[in-house]
Structure 1
Amino acid sequence: MEEFSTAKHKLSSEDYPEFIKYMGSKSKIIDFVMEGINSVYNGGYVCDLFAGSASLSGALSQQVPVHSNDIQAYSGTIAKAYLLTSSEYISIDEIISQANDIHSKNLNSLYIEIHDYNKDVSLDEFNEIEKAQQQLIFHDFQGQWQLFTKNYSGTWWSANQCLWIDAIREVAENYKGTPSYNLILSALMYAMAYSSQGTGHYAQYRDAKTESSMKDISIYRKKSVVEYFTRKYISSINQLNHLQKLPHKITTLDYKDCLNNIDNSTVYADPPYCFVHYSRFYHALETVVLYDHPNIQVKGGRFVKGRYRENRHQSPFSIKTQVSSAFSQLFKGVRETKSNLALSYSNTGMISIEKVIELAETELGPSYDLNLLTIDHKHMTLGRRLDRDREVKECLFLAKL
């Protein structure tokens, strides 16, 4: 590997495959983000402190060394797909051949009939089919690799779609420790997102309450996990066949711990803006990556509809009583490591822009030159409210030594 120069580079966004639908993603305003980072970047690592969908890793992977960090494991997997690339990936034919054998074996052992969603049924019949699949959560599966079939059949995905998710996930495990592993999981997350009957996240799935909603859900039940996975895996290999290898880092740490492990970096921070916790919206992605058979949250003696993992991460940036302190800790960590900072926030955040500026001035002190960039932007809500997107003013707080 050639030694990478720490001299300053003019950064720009590269083309990269997008793997998940992500609330608040900066992919649509990546040029604005690059403008802010360029204004404070002095060479060396760019640390993406709250990487999320890891879009910054995809955009910068061939230009500078990136330190991608997020406390969620799925984010680290996507970052590895972008940053730890290979010239030789496992062939798609080999993956699908193995998955097909696993799917066939598990399908034959399933005690309920797999519904053909091309058949016309009444609304009542449809809901009985969905309910039967949802009841699989109470079935005692003997195999290790039937987690999604057990926990998620008849929710965001049909039982047959879950069988395929489990099968591809089992195949991925055969390549753990290789770049193929990260790409298989990332392409699987893409297939999960685009075959899901939800709105792009996994907070709650839709019920068929009307003929119209039944027909709409059926459209997604017919979608092939294998086809979505195959297309994304093949197209991603073409985009990720990088020649230059840089000394990238990927960590899954709390933001404060990550800041303790950097030095003289340029930090890009994109913390949560609102009161909802991302771990609620993307718990299924965390589960497919970790595949750790988590306990499902129970309320009132019943599994919650969202089928969330117990003990999900709760970000202080999404808690009203903790958000000011969280920002203070962020600014303190930047100052103590003598790093520069580009911080994304909006005028719809948990605290006001004026308060963020006040905290930055207090914690960073007079050694830092502070500036503010703004842009009008439509923020994706992924169905959390009646409006699918809202006009917000996106801000970049820039702090440079």
Structure 2
Amino acid sequence: MGTKRHMADHVRDAIAELNAEGRVVDLFSGMGSVAESLQETASVVTNDAMSFTAALSRARFTGSDRSTTSAEVIERLLPGYEARLRELESTYAIELKSEAAALNGSRTDLLDYMDKAQHVGNSAAHRRSAKVAAESSGSDHYELASLYFSAGYLSLRQAIELDATRAAIDTDSHLEDRDWMLAAWIAGASVLINAPGHTAQYLRPNSNSAHTRIVRTWSRSIWDEFSSALDTVSQVGSEAWRQRNSVYVGDALDLVSAGELRDIGTVYADPPYTKDQYSRYYHVYETLYRYDFPDSSGVGRNRSDRFTTGFSLKTAVVSSFHDLCRNVSRMRVPLVISYPSSGLLGEAGITVSEIALQYFEKVKTQSYEANHSTMGASTGASKKSATENLYVCLV
């Protein structure tokens, strides 16, 4: 949902001009666009509040060169996958039959199937099953996607495949491949998630075009997408570069205030700029990765413990920027911030430069035209033009 891919080259160039020695910290790393752009410039420390993005970062930006091929991984996982798949197919035989009939029927049939489908958010029986699965140490543990997200974000058939694939990954003995496999598992699922570019809500067959899209998407295989993603989730940069990188998971302000970062030359921050708490757009991926059987509520089947940040609160955005600038200035390194003119800070009546100049000797500003996502575009255009600013804060 973010905008860092089109900004990555500008950020890389700004950092390169600083000629600062040490690693670059990307405090809000997301899917790693900036880290990837720095592979020829500097080693990186990535940080994000979401655990699932850290798996992708570890798979791409850390570790030795892989000695295993995708085909070898598939061969290794296939028996475990097929074993759990058969168990789940037996457990959900009646529901799978109902789903097949709905997919072969009319738009009304599919809508009715989705409306009546049970999941942890609306079914006491499913909540009991989730508790049993959470406490199981055997193959019965692997049922989360089926219990939480089937007949909504995924078809039941796809959810079963997702659970069976996770069972095979978790029982694989090649731990050096674990982040790669989990990253491919998440990436494969993302291709088929029945949602408008984020997972705050799933799509319903409220029109003929939506019906066609869901039927087409639900006919595709999670296992096939996982197999393809093993090839696409490739390592970035040289082995020497990756071995100097680090990956953190947590609040960006906590990271810069803890005093634990070492060998740092520059800090880059791309904080949230709207009142939307971004974790609600990624909760499905986070729950899948953590596989922790949380509570679930609402149409979006949301977990209640989603991460929140002061950068997305009008009452806290100013103090959050002060905390960011204060703590980075104490590290005596430059701070590079990307933030749009239309951000929440501007609504509070203050600019990034005004805050940064209280902690840094000089702030240079560069501006670029950009397109920002409208978070799924339930009404109007999916993109809107904005002015993205790059603030280079010098000690």
TM-score by length of 1: 0.85
Q: Which residue of 1 aligns with 2:357?
A: 361
Q: Which residue of 2 aligns with 1:64?
A: 42
Cα distance change of structure 1 residues 327 and 79 upon mapping to structure 2, 3 Å threshold: same
Structure 1 residue 160: Cα displacement: 0.8
Cα distance change of structure 1 residues 177 and 314 upon mapping to structure 2, 3 Å threshold: farther
Corresponding pairs, count: 369
Report whether the alignment pairs 1:293 with 2:298. no
Report whether the alignment pairs 1:94 with 2:76. yes
Report whether the alignment pairs 1:338 with 2:332. yes
Structure 1 residue 395: Cα displacement: 0.9
359, 365, 378: which one aligns with 2:371? 378
Structure 1 residue 328: Cα displacement: 0.3
Q: Distance in 2 between matches of 1:181 and 1:62?
A: 26
Structure 1 residue 64: Cα displacement: 2.7
Structure 1 residue 57: Cα displacement: 2.8
Is 1:136–1:149's contact at 8 Å kept on the other side of the alignment? no
One-letter identity of the residue aligned with 2:186? M
Structure 1 residue 176: Cα displacement: 8.0
**Unaligned runs of at least 5 residues, structure 2:** 133-139
Cα distance change of structure 1 residues 26 and 325 upon mapping to structure 2, 3 Å threshold: same
Q: Distance in 2 between matches of 1:200 and 1:160?
A: 21
Structure 1 residue 195: Cα displacement: 0.5
4, 13, 18: which one aligns with 1:35? 13
Q: Which residue of 2 aligns with 1:283?
A: 283
Q: Distance in 2 between matches of 1:218 and 1:194?
A: 14
Q: Distance in 2 between matches of 1:232 and 1:197?
A: 18
Structure 1 residue 236: Cα displacement: 3.0
The structure whose residues are more often helix, as a share, is 2
Is 1:376–1:393's contact at 8 Å kept on the other side of the alignment? yes
Q: Distance in 2 between matches of 1:163 and 1:189?
A: 14
One-letter identity of the residue aligned with 2:355? L
Q: Which residue of 2 aligns with 1:396?
A: 390
- Is 194-203 or 112-121 further displaced after alignment? 112-121
Structure 1 residue 338: Cα displacement: 0.8
Is 1:87–1:241's contact at 8 Å kept on the other side of the alignment? no
* 1:42-77 CA distance string (max 9 Å, x none): 121100111111222333346532111112211211
Q: Distance in 1 between matches of 2:107 and 2:250?
A: 46
Is 2:12–2:34's contact at 8 Å kept on the other side of the alignment? no
Report whether the alignment pairs 1:188 with 2:170. no
TM-score by length of 2: 0.86
Cα distance change of structure 1 residues 117 and 316 upon mapping to structure 2, 3 Å threshold: farther
Cα distance change of structure 1 residues 119 and 286 upon mapping to structure 2, 3 Å threshold: closer
Structure 1 residue 95: Cα displacement: 2.5
* 1:352-394 CA distance string (max 9 Å, x none): 2952111111133xxx331011111112334145321111111
* 1:106-151 CA distance string (max 9 Å, x none): 1112153323389631223212322344447623435211011001
One-letter identity of the residue aligned with 2:323? Q
* 1:3-27 CA distance string (max 9 Å, x none): xxxxxxxxxxxxxxxxxxxx11412
One-letter identity of the residue aligned with 1:319? L
201, 204, 226: which one aligns with 2:201? 204
Q: CA RMSD in A?
A: 2.3
Structure 1 residue 250: Cα displacement: 1.2
Q: Which residue of 1 aligns with 2:100?
A: 116
Report whether the alignment pairs 1:255 with 2:252. yes
Q: Distance in 2 between matches of 1:354 and 1:176?
A: 53
**Unaligned runs of at least 5 residues, structure 1:** 1-22, 297-302
Q: Distance in 2 between matches of 1:284 and 1:177?
A: 26
Counterpart of 1:362 in 2: which secondary structure? coil
